[in-house]
């Protein structure tokens, strides 16, 4: 049986399937859900945990290294044969036998008085400098601790210590009702919130066998694409800042701010919180949307000419922080990072939500900072076209049934749902029993991309790290739910 | 009279230094579409730091505490030796080598201060500042050599005076100007060499050596950084720029020239990106190459 777990998963990987989730449950079982990127069909592989142990896949499927370490931390199941079974989110402050998802403790755990600094993997030897950055940074960003091993100006190795602000969202979601989940899921991450909300809505609708109306689907597409434009504009502003290109930085920030204010005017929230619920979507305003897209285009075109024609900027981005196509496939890279390295996967092509809007994946082959920059530029343009298309259709849609659908009580079952967030494939694996959540696993795109960043940095100059980091622009809070 | 003008010039340069820095920052902000702080913002910043508590890292030595004063003193001497209005009292020590070695002294101490605390960023900054120095110094030396060659002695004398009598010196003068402009950008720590406004520790050069300072030490360092800008801009204009017949008019012209330099610097800098660190030797090699070629021409090695 052990062998079949490994054999089946490896076979699916070799058949170019995408791993949606790898997760465990408290009744001694584990499951891997795979997605066929062409047909959209899902495959489920299950294994029983025997005597607290399960066969580790990491040595043959390196992309699950973090998943298995996390399962060890929160369930206590030991991944047998894992080459690097360090704690991932567990800190020495956790009590010895505290396994937060294994059993629900009635009393709050008492935190140990221990040095929270997990030892980092560093290079040892003559002339090697170990440099620690974070977890508190000079800019307004999330908490991440980066340990560099340097030889002069060159990076030999980078160890990332994330999971500094673990909130226990998955544990919090257990035994919640449909209404309770929505407000928590919305707040997992401000950058990908619409994607998380849509996932939850799709999960409930799939479990109830309900199919949302066309107007609701179009409203969700508008929100998902607006969120992508917002997130990409922010990233496109931060990349020039990494090389001191202040004019391009400030102009892109101004575009982002105008876009965000427009969204606030339409949806009442700068980050689009609470805009999607099962069977419902915040009503879009097609006229205002089209006006907002028009205004953005007017600022966008001169900005695009500025950055594309700037020799110094393009020179700084070229051949820096390269991720190869082979690495992206091996580590299961997602989103912009994978599409910039020639992997043409975009979950939007599989989602019934987009119906006949026909989004086309944007692919570049360089794998460097410039390729990631260009993918974002082209995706913003594609998203603006999608928004215009959806808004035009929404104008034609007659406001059909104004009676909102609300999920009936008592649905049960397990489903893995996904959307393409600005950062890539965002998956929720939901198990419900009689209207309450039994297990809720969230695997955001950045969870797969963080190890790729650590892989892309060695070999580059340490002064280029901010630039590389900003070109990945990975979300901490999605990965550390 | 010369005494009074020189004394007043020194006082004015030291006093307006933060304002000149502010002009560059204001122009930068406007070019980027921001309103930006008032040009006298740096005075408030220095005042704020001055009134804060001054702390020093536990494992730092007297080197760390002395370095800001040494930098400030070196730059003050630089300002004093420059013939700000074009002329200086007799027997005034205004040799260009003095300037060269004072700048080297300032760099040496800022490197030492970065290393002294044992912090990684300070060490990285010290390494970068001194590495950059090995490129700056030959370039500056070559450019100064042109002036020396043309004027016949090492004094910081206006070169423009020699141009009217010997037009053949025009080409060396252009080369010296270009070379000095490139070197000064590097000395000031402005783009495309260093970014004075960054918060990204990993990319810092000069700022990284100041990271551990606060209170009065930081106030002194900020003032010294601004003074370095005005002092070197003055040097450039005195040696390579035009001069007016009156001492007082010359003094006024200097102030306008420095303000204009700050404005142009802010404008140009906003549109530039920082060069890769490993490309900086090429940048400084251009400056040094121009200087050496100019020196060769000035020495009459090539008859035009």
* Domain ranges for chain A: 1-101, 169-468
- Using the beta-carbon criterion (under 8 Å), do A243 and B274 form an inter-chain contact? yes
Q: How far apart are CA B304 and CA B297, in angstroms?
A: 9
Residues present in chain A in total: 481
- Using the beta-carbon criterion (under 8 Å), do B124 and A464 form an inter-chain contact? no
Give the phi and the psi of residue A419 in degrees, each rounded to 5: -140, 165
Residue-level pLDDT at A376: 95
A128-137, A231-240, B163-172: segment of lowest average pLDDT: B163-172
Average pLDDT estimate for A70-98: 87
Is the pLDDT confidence value at A69 over 60? yes
- Using the beta-carbon criterion (under 8 Å), do B120 and A129 form an inter-chain contact? yes
CB nearest B31 (choices: A153, A247, A316): A247
pTM of the entire structure?
0.90
Higher pLDDT, A176 or A303: A303
Residue-level pLDDT at B304: 47
Token pair belonging to A238: 């931060």
A-chain residues near B199 (CB < 8 A): 138-139
A86-90, A445-449, A453-457, B68-72: segment of lowest average pLDDT: A86-90
Tell me which H or E stretch contains A170: helix A169-173
CB nearest B201 (choices: A138, A245, A247): A138
Higher pLDDT, A210 or A189: A189
- Using the beta-carbon criterion (under 8 Å), do B274 and A247 form an inter-chain contact? no
- Using the beta-carbon criterion (under 8 Å), do A244 and B191 form an inter-chain contact? yes
Residue-level pLDDT at A280: 85
Residue-level pLDDT at A403: 60
Residues 329-368 of A with CB under 8 A from B: none
A42-46, B85-89, B235-239: segment of lowest average pLDDT: B85-89
Give the phi and the psi of residue A440 in degrees, each rounded to 5: -135, 110
Which three-class secondary structure string do you get for chain B?
Answer: CHHHHHHHHHHHHHHHHHHHHHHHHHHHHHHCCCCCCCCCHHHHHHHHHHHCCCCCCCCCCHHHHHHHHHHHHHHHHHHHHCCCCCCCCCCCCCEHHHHHHHHHHHHHHHHHHHHHCCCHHHHHHHHHHHHHHHHHHHHHHHHHHHHHHHHCCCECCCCHHHHHHCHHHHHHHHHHHHHHHHHHHHHHCCCCCCCCCCCCHHHCCHHHHHCCCCHHHHHHHHHHHHHHHHHHHHHHHHHHCCCCCCHHHHHHHHHHHHHHHHHHHHHHHHCCCCCCHHHHHHHHHHHHHHHHHHHHHHCCCCCC
Q: Is A136 on the interface with B (CB under 8 A)?
A: no
CB nearest A312 (choices: B34, B121, B272): B272
Tokens 């805009």, residue located: A275
- Parallel, antiparallel or unpaired: strands A154-161 and A276-277: unpaired
Q: How far apart are CA A249 and CA A269, in angstroms?
A: 24
CA distance A240 to chain B (A): 8
A-chain residues near B282 (CB < 8 A): none
Is the pLDDT confidence value at B94 over 50? yes
Residue-level pLDDT at A470: 92
CB nearest A316 (choices: B124, B195, B276): B276
- Using the beta-carbon criterion (under 8 Å), do A245 and B273 form an inter-chain contact? yes
Beta bridge partners of A45: A32
- CATH for A169-468 is 1.10.645.10
A113-127, A374-388, A391-405: segment of lowest average pLDDT: A391-405
Residues 227-256 of A with CB under 8 A from B: 240, 242-247, 249-251, 254
Quick one: what percent of chain B has pLDDT higher than 70?
Answer: 96
Residues 265-304 of A with CB under 8 A from B: none
At B22, is the pLDDT very low, low, confident or very high (cuts 50, 70, 90)?
A: very high
- Using the beta-carbon criterion (under 8 Å), do A462 and B124 form an inter-chain contact? yes
By CA distance, what is A255's nearest residue in B? B33
Is the pLDDT confidence value at B41 over 60? yes
- Using the beta-carbon criterion (under 8 Å), do A250 and B32 form an inter-chain contact? yes
Angle between helices B247-270 and B215-240 (to 10 degrees): 110
B-chain residues near A461 (CB < 8 A): 276-278
Residue from A120, A243, A249, A252 whose CB has the most chain B CBs within 10 Å, to mutate: A243
Average pLDDT estimate for A377-389: 94
B-chain residues near A465 (CB < 8 A): 202
Residue-level pLDDT at A117: 61
CB nearest A250 (choices: B34, B198, B202): B34
Residues 155-214 of A with CB under 8 A from B: none
Q: How far apart are CA B304 and CA B300, in angstroms?
A: 9
- Using the beta-carbon criterion (under 8 Å), do A242 and B123 form an inter-chain contact? no
Is the pLDDT confidence value at B46 over 90? yes
Q: Is A462 on the interface with B (CB under 8 A)?
A: yes
Is the pLDDT confidence value at B301 over 80? no
Contact A92, A118 (CB under 8 A): yes
A-chain residues near B272 (CB < 8 A): 244-245, 312
Quick one: what percent of chain B has pLDDT higher than 90?
Answer: 51
A360-364, A408-412, B116-120, B184-188: segment of lowest average pLDDT: A408-412
Residue from A120, A128, A246 whose CB has the most chain B CBs within 10 Å, to mutate: A246
Average pLDDT estimate for B14-31: 94
Q: Taking Cα atoms as reference points, which of B188, B39, B212 lies closest to residue B113? A: B212
Task: State how far the alpha carbon of A153 is from the alpha carbons of A144, A160, B120, B147, in Å.
Answer: 22, 19, 12, 36
What value does the mean pLDDT of chain A take?
88
Beta bridge partners of A163: none
By CA distance, what is A247's nearest residue in B? B32
- Using the beta-carbon criterion (under 8 Å), do B197 and A243 form an inter-chain contact? no
Is the pLDDT confidence value at A278 over 60? yes
CA distance A129 to chain B (A): 8
- Using the beta-carbon criterion (under 8 Å), do B120 and A130 form an inter-chain contact? yes
Residue-level pLDDT at B188: 87
Residue from A244, A251, A466 whose CB has the most chain B CBs within 10 Å, to mutate: A244
Quick one: what percent of chain A has pLDDT higher than 90?
Answer: 50
Q: What share of chain A is helix, strand, coil (3-state, %, to 5)?
A: 45, 15, 40
Q: How far apart are CA B151 and CA B173, in angstroms?
A: 11
Residue-level pLDDT at A107: 66
ipTM for this model: 0.86
At B107, is the pLDDT very low, low, confident or very high (cuts 50, 70, 90)?
A: very high
Residue from A237, A463, A470 whose CB has the most chain B CBs within 10 Å, to mutate: A463
CA distance A447 to chain B (A): 24
Q: How far apart are CA A327 and CA A321, in angstroms?
A: 13
CA atoms A178, A179, A182, A184: torsion sign: negative
B-chain residues near A313 (CB < 8 A): 273
By CA distance, what is B266's nearest residue in A? A246
pLDDT tens-digit readout, B119-168: 888 889 999 999 999 999 999 888 888 888 877 777 777 776 676 666 66
Residue-level pLDDT at A2: 57
Q: Strand A154-161: give its sheet, edge to edge.
A: A128-133, A145-151, A154-161
CA distance A465 to chain B (A): 7
Average pLDDT estimate for A214-224: 90
Q: Identify residues of B whose CB sits under 8 angstroms from chain A CBs.
A: 28, 31-34, 120-121, 123-124, 127, 191-192, 195, 197-203, 269-278
Q: Is A139 on the interface with B (CB under 8 A)?
A: yes
- Using the beta-carbon criterion (under 8 Å), do A132 and B120 form an inter-chain contact? yes
- Using the beta-carbon criterion (under 8 Å), do B203 and A463 form an inter-chain contact? yes
Q: Is A1 on the interface with B (CB under 8 A)?
A: no
- Could you tell me how far CA B293 lies from the centroid of its own chain? 23
Is the pLDDT confidence value at B193 over 60? yes
């Amino acid at each position: 049986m052990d062998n079949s777990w490994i054999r089946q998963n490896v076979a699916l990987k070799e058949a170019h399937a995408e791993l949606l989730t790898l997760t465990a449950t408290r009744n001694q079982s584990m499951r891997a859900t795979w997605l066929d990127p062409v047909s959209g069909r899902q495959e489920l592989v299950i294994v029983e945990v025997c005597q607290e142990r399960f066969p580790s896949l990491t040595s043959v499927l390196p992309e699950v290294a973090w998943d298995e370490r996390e399962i060890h931390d929160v369930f206590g199941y030991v991944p047998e044969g894992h080459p690097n079974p360090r704690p991932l989110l567990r800190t020495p402050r956790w009590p010895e036998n505290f396994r937060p998802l294994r059993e629900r403790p009635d009393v709050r755990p008492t935190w140990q008085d221990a040095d929270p600094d997990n030892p980092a993997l560093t290079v040892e030897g003559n002339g090697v400098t170990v440099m620690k950055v974070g977890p508190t940074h000079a800019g307004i960003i999330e908490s991440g601790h980066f340990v560099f091993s340097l030889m002069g100006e060159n990076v030999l190795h980078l160890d990332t210590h994330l999971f500094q602000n673990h909130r226990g969202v998955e544990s919090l979601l257990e035994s919640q009702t449909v209404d309770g989940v929505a407000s928590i899921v919305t707040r997992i991450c401000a950058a990908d919130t619409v994607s998380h909300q849509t996932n939850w809505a799709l999960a409930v609708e799939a479990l109830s066998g309900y199919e949302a109306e066309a107007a609701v689907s179009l409203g969700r597409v508008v929100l998902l694409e607006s969120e992508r434009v917002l997130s990409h504009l922010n990233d496109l502003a931060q990349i020039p800042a990494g090389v001191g290109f202040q004019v391009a930085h400030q102009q892109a920030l101004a575009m982002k701010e105008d876009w965000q204010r427009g969204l606030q005017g339409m949806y009442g929230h700068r980050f689009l919180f609470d805009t999607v619920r099962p069977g419902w979507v915040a009503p879009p305003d097609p006229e205002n949307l089209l006006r907002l897209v028009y205004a953005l285009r007017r600022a966008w075109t001169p900005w695009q000419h500025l950055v594309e024609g700037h020799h110094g900027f393009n020179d700084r981005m070229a051949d820096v922080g390269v991720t190869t196509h082979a690495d992206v496939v091996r580590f299961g890279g997602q989103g912009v990072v994978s599409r910039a390295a020639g992997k043409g996967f975009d979950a939007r092509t599989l989602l019934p939500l987009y119906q006949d809007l026909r989004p086309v994946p944007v692919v570049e082959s360089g794998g460097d900072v410039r390729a990631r920059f260009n993918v974002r530029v082209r995706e913003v343009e594609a998203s603006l076209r999608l928004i215009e298309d959806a808004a035009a259709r929404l104008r034609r849609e007659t406001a059909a049934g104004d009676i909102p659908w609300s999920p009936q009580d008592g649905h049960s079952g397990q489903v893995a749902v996904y959307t393409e967030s600005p950062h890539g494939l965002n998956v929720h694996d939901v198990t419900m029993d009689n209207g309450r959540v039994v297990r809720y696993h969230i695997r955001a795109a950045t969870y797969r991309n963080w190890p790729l960043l650590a892989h892309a940095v060695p070999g580059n100059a340490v002064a280029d790290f901010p630039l590389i980091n900003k070109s990945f622009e990975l979300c901490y809070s999605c990965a550390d739910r | 009279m010369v005494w009074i003008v020189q004394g007043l010039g020194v006082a004015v340069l030291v006093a307006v230094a933060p304002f000149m820095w502010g002009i560059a920052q204001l122009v930068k902000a406007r070019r980027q579409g921001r309103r930006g702080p008032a040009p006298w913002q740096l005075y408030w910043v220095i005042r704020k730091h001055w009134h804060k508590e001054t702390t020093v890292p536990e494992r730092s030595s007297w080197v760390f505490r002395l370095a800001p004063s040494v930098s400030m003193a070196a730059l003050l001497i630089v300002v004093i030796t420059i013939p700000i209005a074009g002329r200086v009292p007799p027997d005034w020590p205004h040799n260009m080598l003095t300037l060269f070695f004072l700048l080297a002294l300032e760099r040496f101490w800022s490197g030492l201060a970065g290393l002294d605390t044992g912090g990684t960023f300070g060490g990285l900054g010290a390494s970068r500042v001194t590495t950059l120095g090995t490129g700056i110094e030959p370039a500056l030396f070559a450019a100064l050599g042109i002036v020396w060659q043309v004027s016949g002695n090492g004094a910081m004398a206006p070169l423009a005076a020699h141009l009217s009598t010997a037009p053949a010196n025009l080409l060396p003068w252009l080369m010296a100007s270009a070379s000095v402009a490139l070197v000064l950008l590097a000395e000031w720590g402005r783009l495309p060499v260093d970014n004075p406004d960054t918060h990204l520790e990993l990319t810092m050069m000069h700022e990284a050596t100041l990271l551990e300072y606060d209170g009065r030490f930081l106030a002194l360092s900020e003032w010294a950084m601004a003074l370095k800008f005005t002092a070197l801009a003055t040097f450039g204009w005195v040696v390579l720029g035009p001069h007016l017949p009156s001492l007082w008019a010359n003094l006024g012209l200097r102030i306008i020239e420095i303000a204009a330099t700050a404005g142009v610097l802010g404008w140009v800098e906003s549109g530039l990106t920082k060069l890769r660190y490993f490309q900086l030797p090429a940048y400084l090699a251009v400056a040094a190459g121009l200087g050496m070629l100019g020196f060769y021409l000035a020495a009459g090695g090539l008859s035009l």
